[in-house]
Structure 1
Amino acid sequence: MSRTPGEHSNSVPDLTSENITRRKRGYNDDLTEALDQFSYKMIEKWNELKLEFTQEISEIKDSLKNLNETTNELKSEINHIREEYTRMQKTVQNLDIQQNDTQKEVMSLQKSMQYHSDEQDDLKKKTELHAKNIQIISTQLEDVRCQNNKLKSELNEREQRDRLLNIEIVGVPELKDEDLSGIILQLGKRTSLDIKIEDIVRVNRVTPISKQDGRPKHIVAKLSTRQLKDNLISQTRKCRVTTSDLNIPGKVSPVFVNEHLTVSNKSLLKKTKEAAKLKEYQYTWIKNCRIFVRKAATLPAIPIKEEEDLRKIV
């Protein structure tokens, strides 16, 4: 079935210029809108990127700033280390110098010690030699001491033998123009002994070793026999003679007649009495110019000839 031209006019597009322009404008608007949207999105994206970039730049700047600070600190630390290193180098140099000086001092000290050691060895040898010499001299001195003691003992015995006939009268006052022989004769009368003038070999006063003010000099008389001397000493001890018995004026005082001991024996007698008193010995006496001690009447007598014998008094 054929169509009429009127029927076909509804389906044919409108190709007029107005329609074509309207279509073009619609397409352009869509494109523009799309481009605007794209641009907007690009701007937004760019702004986001810019913001992110700015933040990153800021962070990088902060990092760089921190890095710079760290770098500066490191530089300062490195400078400090360098200074310390320089000081350490100087210190090491000083230590080297000191070590060299110390080594020199040590070497000098070693030499000095060696020198003193050699001196000490020499001194030791000399000391040993001196010790030997001293030992020899000590032995010689001991021999001399023994010989001297022996000589002194022999001399003392000789002096004491020369005094075997002597008596020593103690306590008789000194008078002007005194008759010493008459005093001896008067002692004989007091003790009932027949003493003649010819029995008196000699008589004189002597100054005691320990002179004391107010005490008279002792009278020393040598008699003709030993028996007469012993009897006179024994009797005067029994009679207890005083100055009035000898017709001596003045205050009455005791008179003692003793053995005429040597200086050495008098000193030994004094020490013997002290030792005997300390050890409570009852008896100390002299017979024939010899010293004896006895602790009790029933015990034997101990002769004391020299100081070594005092050890027997125990």
Structure 2
Amino acid sequence: MNTQRTPPGGSTGSHPNLSQLTENEFHDQITLRKRKTPDCDNICFELFRRELNNTMAAHRQELRNTVQELQKSISSSFESLVEKQNESIRKLHEDLCTLKSEVNDLKLNQHSIQKEHNDFVADLSKQKNDHNNLCEKTKTLECDLIDAKKQIKELTEQQNIKDQQGRINNLEISGVPQTKGENLYNVLHIIATKIGFALSSADVDFIHRVRRFTTKAPRNNLHTHEGQSTASSVPNIIVKFTQRKRKCEFLAAVRARRGLTTADLDIDGASSPIFINDHLTPHNKVIYARARRLGKELGYKYIWLNDCKIFLRKSDTTKSILINNEKDLDRIK
């Protein structure tokens, strides 16, 4: 009996290269083929194992190559990143050093500014104290100045009173022309004869000429030209009587005579009025000039001098007002 070693259908046996079979073909070869001997299975398994190992080795090598390339790429990228990071750190370090230097400079400037500020505050405090002390001194000086002005005013008034008392026996004659080699005693005797006054040599203490005083009113509501009397280069004649009584009698005779002129003294030239009055101090002359102007403005009928005192009276029926100083003038406005 012939034993048939090939399967029906003309198949010649297992495929010589199992790695070229598909999975289904591979399983068909395994399941359809009759297992004849253990050695054949071992051979097939060995072939499969080898093919599998080769395939896995190829895949491992490919994976190894891919991993190496990836490692190289990562390493290169990391190195580049590290280099960039190091460069950034270096720049940051430089900037930090610069900033630290600037901060130190700023601290030094701040210390300097703080010192200057402290010095300024100290100077300001000192100036404030000096200012307060100066204010106190100024207040003290102002008080002292007020007291000094008050004392000066009182002393001036007292001196004016004394000066006027020293002139109480004096008469002042203005309007008499001055001639070379003149004899003022003769001029006075001529005036006494014209007014009908019996003048003796014992009545006169002395007689002389003085510069005529030009009065100027203080700055007030009066006009400037009204505050200044007519200036004259001719010195006035001052007569000092030995007795106050005789002076008053002489002045009363002058006022009774009225209208005395240079023609009455036989003086050559155009006739001009001669004025004889009490010899006032410069201060009282100013007050008298103001009283005359103010009295005329306010309609006072009488303004006169009596024994070196200034009087005003509004009318014949009103009382006379004594003017001692400028305050009295302010009260009659």
Q: 1:96 to 1:208 in 2, by over 3 A?
A: farther
Q: Percent identity?
A: 28
State the distance in 2 between where 1:265 and 1:188 align.
26
Secondary structure of the residue aligned to 1:303 is: strand
State the distance in 1 between where 2:105 and 2:251 align.
93
CA contact (8 A) 1:223 1:229 kept: yes
1:232 to 234, 242, 250: 250
CA contact (8 A) 2:170 2:240 kept: yes
The aligned residue for residue 165 of structure 2 is 161
Gaps of 5+ in 1: 1-85
Q: What do residues 42-101 of structure 1 show as CA deviations (whole Å, max 9, x unaligned)?
A: xxxxxxxxxxxxxxxxxxxxxxxxxxxxxxxxxxxxxxxxxxxx9xxx9x9999988887
Q: 1:275 to 1:121 in 2, by over 3 A?
A: farther
State the distance in 2 between where 1:233 and 1:156 align.
22
1:289 is matched by which residue type in structure 2? C
The aligned residue for residue 48 of structure 1 is none
Confirm or deny that 1:261 pairs with 2:265.
Answer: no
CA contact (8 A) 2:212 2:234 kept: no
1:159 is matched by which residue type in structure 2? D
Q: What do residues 21-42 of structure 1 show as CA deviations (whole Å, max 9, x unaligned)?
A: xxxxxxxxxxxxxxxxxxxxxx
Shift of 1:281: 4.1
Q: 1:109 to 1:268 in 2, by over 3 A?
A: farther
State the distance in 2 between where 1:278 and 1:95 align.
89
State the distance in 1 between where 2:189 and 2:313 align.
34
CA contact (8 A) 1:185 1:197 kept: no
The aligned residue for residue 149 of structure 1 is 153
Q: RMSD across aligned C-alpha pairs, in angstroms?
A: 3.5
Secondary structure of the residue aligned to 1:249 is: coil
Q: 1:118 to 1:295 in 2, by over 3 A?
A: farther
Say which is worse superposed, 244-253 or 287-296, in terms of deviation: 287-296
Shift of 1:190: 1.8
Q: What do residues 149-197 of structure 1 show as CA deviations (whole Å, max 9, x unaligned)?
A: 2222222212211211110000001122222112222222222222223
Q: 1:261 to 1:95 in 2, by over 3 A?
A: farther
1:248 to 259, 267, 273: 267
1:187 is matched by which residue type in structure 2? I
Alignment of 1:39-78 (within 5 A): none
Alignment of 1:99-118 (within 5 A): 108-118=112-122
The aligned residue for residue 302 of structure 1 is 321
2:269 is matched by which residue type in structure 1? G
Q: 1:195 to 1:104 in 2, by over 3 A?
A: same
Q: What do residues 242-276 of structure 1 show as CA deviations (whole Å, max 9, x unaligned)?
A: 01112222221110001111122223323333444
CA contact (8 A) 1:169 1:256 kept: yes
Q: How many residues align?
A: 230
Shift of 1:222: 1.3
Confirm or deny that 1:133 pairs with 2:137.
Answer: yes
Secondary structure of the residue aligned to 2:130 is: helix
State the distance in 2 between where 1:125 and 1:309 align.
46
Shift of 1:296: 4.3
State the distance in 2 between where 1:188 and 1:168 align.
14
Gaps of 5+ in 2: 1-90, 216-229
CA contact (8 A) 1:237 1:256 kept: no
Q: 1:94 to 1:310 in 2, by over 3 A?
A: farther
Shift of 1:214: 6.1
CA contact (8 A) 2:173 2:274 kept: yes
Confirm or deny that 1:188 pairs with 2:206.
Answer: no
Provide TM-score, normalisation by structure 2: 0.57
CA contact (8 A) 1:200 1:223 kept: yes
* Higher helix proportion (structure 1 or 2): 1
State the distance in 1 between where 2:318 and 2:100 align.
91
